[in-house]
């Protein structure tokens, strides 16, 4: 399958409720096969800058770091979803969220694979997320959506 490009990303400022167009855009691609959803992203940075964060244990608090977040809502409920997060250094966080994201299960760990790399003026991540455990709730997406 040909990857679907994602663009028009924004910079979210916590507490201020602001969404600003990112000054350095990220190049992201999503595709899938019969068993996984694949996400790849290359995050551009101003020259000389290093990504915020560090390598830490799984499910460490990453939300002050430079991160990529993927939320998957297999039932299209807009209130129950799976959240996968990776920072520029390869640290990961994952959870199953309910109640519109207000409640989550901190013990939930998905069986997904990820990698991160820091280059000169950019960093990148790759995620391979299997459909299990939500395969029974997966909603087929029409071609082109």
- Average pLDDT for 43-58: 92
The domain spans of the chain are: 4-137
119: which 2 tokens?
């280059």
What is the CA 67 to chain-centroid distance, rounded?
A: 7
Q: Which fold, 4-137?
A: Immunoglobulin-like (2.60.40)
**Calpha distance 56→88 (Å, rounded):** 11
Query: To the nearest whole number, what is the mean pLDDT of the chain?
Result: 84
* 110-123 residue pLDDT tens: 889 999 999 999 99
CB 64 within 8 A of CB 85: no
- pTM score of the predicted model: 0.81
- Strand-pair partners of 22: none
Lookup result for tokens 């299990």: 132
* 60-70 residue pLDDT tens: 889 889 999 99
Burial label, 36 (beta-carbon count in 10 A; 0-12, 13-18, 19+): middle
Cis ω for the linkage preceding 116 (within 30 of 0)? no
């Amino acid at each position: 399958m040909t990857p679907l490009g994602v663009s028009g990303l924004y910079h979210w400022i916590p507490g201020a409720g602001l969404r600003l167009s990112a000054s350095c855009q990220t190049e992201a691609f999503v595709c899938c096969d019969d068993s996984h959803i694949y996400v790849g992203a290359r995050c551009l940075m101003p020259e000389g800058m290093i990504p915020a964060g560090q390598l830490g244990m799984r499910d460490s608090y990453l939300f002050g770091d430079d991160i990529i977040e993927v939320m998957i809502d297999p039932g299209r409920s807009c209130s129950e979803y799976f959240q996968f997060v990776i920072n520029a250094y390869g640290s990961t966080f994952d959870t199953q969220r309910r109640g519109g994201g207000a409640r989550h299960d901190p013990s939930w760990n998905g069986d997904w694979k990820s990698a991160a790399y820091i280059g000169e003026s950019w960093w990148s991540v790759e995620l391979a997320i299997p459909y299990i455990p939500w395969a029974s709730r997966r909603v087929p997406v029409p071609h082109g959506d």
